[in-house]
Structure 1
Amino acid sequence: MAVDALDAKILRLLLEQPRTSVREYARLLGVARGTLQARLDRLERDGVITGTGPRLSAAALGHPVLAFVHVEVTQGHLDDVGDALAEVPEIIEAFSITGGGDLMTRVVARDAGHLEDVVQRLIQLPGVVRTRTEIALRQRVPYRMLPLVDAVGAEAGRQR
């Protein structure tokens, strides 16, 4: 799906001002409301916009410890283990990966003891061979999309 310069401007506004109305976005961009709505609908339909909900803080929810747990899985059990991981509320993301392990999870916990309990739960899942845990000390670059949107928009503008 090609994102053009106007799409990039729309995405930038959505990221910078998520609570603004469609009418106000159209006014700020100098386009018709119908044009803006059609663009938003297309961006959602094409999977560029995947959600509009708030981003929540695990730390503010009482889970300040963040760890990355690599999970090695018995061959042929990746889907089963992936389904089981989805049942663990402290796992906020999980990915199939290449390299040293089969899955990488992002796990939050109340403290080190709680993290150990979560890891022990993972080790007991059928199909899990071993885990390796790395605790995050400090976030250096927060989740962000704006620099990527700007780069995509600039590239689209140069290709005109």
Structure 2
Amino acid sequence: MTEHSVQLDELDARLIELLAAEPRIGVLELSRRLSVARGTVQARLDKLTARGAIKGFGPEVVPAMIGFGVMSFVTLEISQRYGHDAVAGHLAEIPEVLEAHTITGSGDLLCRIVARSNADLQRVIDQIVGYEGITRAHTIIALAELIPYRTVPLTKAATRI
């Protein structure tokens, strides 16, 4: 466990599970369903949010449903003289770059990107590699999502540690 990690208990896991299933649920309804005081729910939410275990309560947008039906993963190799921060700044300006992570292995960064079509994917990749600090890109197109991004099973497992 890292120095700043949050130890979850069963109540935290149940709270997160309810929020994941019904993001618009209110604190009062959460307290009713969890059979705990409203103040307890609010205190738990405040603690989980303040410590970074919960990042937000906003809507989860499905890119394919708003016209971005092509998802791909791109491994980037970067010029070390530019560094990760400069490349990340460039990538942050491209709306189709959903996330980027520094990685180990044959590349330096791994990005998840979306596009409207395969032709549009070429445009996005060209925009990405058009930056002088990026020396090479390897793209893999995702065909189907078998397991969507999820954290509820992880929060349940965290209570069993």
TM-score, normalisation: structure 2: 0.92
Cα deviation for residue 17 of structure 1 reads: 2.0
1:23 is matched by which residue type in structure 2?
A: L
CA distance in 1, matches of 2:134, 2:52: 32
**Structure 1 contact 58–64 (Cα < 8 Å) conserved:** yes
Q: Which residue number corresponds to residue 120 of structure 1?
A: 126
Task: State, as a whole percentage, how many aligned pairs show the same letter.
Answer: 44
* 1:17-49 alpha-carbon deviations (Å, 9 max, x no partner): 222110111111111111111111001001111
* 1:52-78 alpha-carbon deviations (Å, 9 max, x no partner): 001111111111001111110001322
Q: Which residue number corresponds to residue 90 of structure 1?
A: 96
1:104 is matched by which residue type in structure 2?
A: L
1:136 is matched by which residue type in structure 2?
A: A
Q: Which residue number corresponds to residue 6 of structure 1?
A: 11
CA distance in 2, matches of 1:76, 1:96: 16
**Structure 1 contact 65–111 (Cα < 8 Å) conserved:** yes
| Aligned length, in residue pairs | 155
CA distance in 1, matches of 2:16, 2:38: 15
Match of 2:111 among 71, 91, 105: 105
Q: Which residue number corresponds to residue 151 of structure 1?
A: 157
Is the partner of 2:66 in helix, strand or coil? Answer: coil
Q: Which residue number corresponds to residue 18 of structure 1?
A: 23
Cα deviation for residue 87 of structure 1 reads: 0.3
CA distance in 2, matches of 1:123, 1:143: 27
Cα deviation for residue 149 of structure 1 reads: 1.6
* 1:72-114 alpha-carbon deviations (Å, 9 max, x no partner): 0001322111110000111111111111110111110111111
CA distance in 2, matches of 1:99, 1:76: 19
1:114 is matched by which residue type in structure 2?
A: D
Hey, which bits of structure 1, 4+ residues long, moved more than 3 A? none
Q: Which residue number corresponds to residue 3 of structure 2?
A: none
CA distance in 1, matches of 2:106, 2:115: 24
Task: Kindly report the root-mean-square deviation, in angstroms, between the aligned alpha carbons of the 2 structures.
Answer: 1.1
Is the partner of 1:19 in helix, strand or coil? Answer: coil
Structure 2: runs of 5 or more not aligned: 1-5
Structure 1: runs of 5 or more not aligned: none
Q: Which residue number corresponds to residue 39 of structure 1?
A: 44
Q: Which residue number corresponds to residue 133 of structure 1?
A: 139
Q: Which residue number corresponds to residue 74 of structure 2?
A: 69
TM-score, normalisation: structure 1: 0.93
Is the partner of 2:158 in helix, strand or coil? Answer: helix
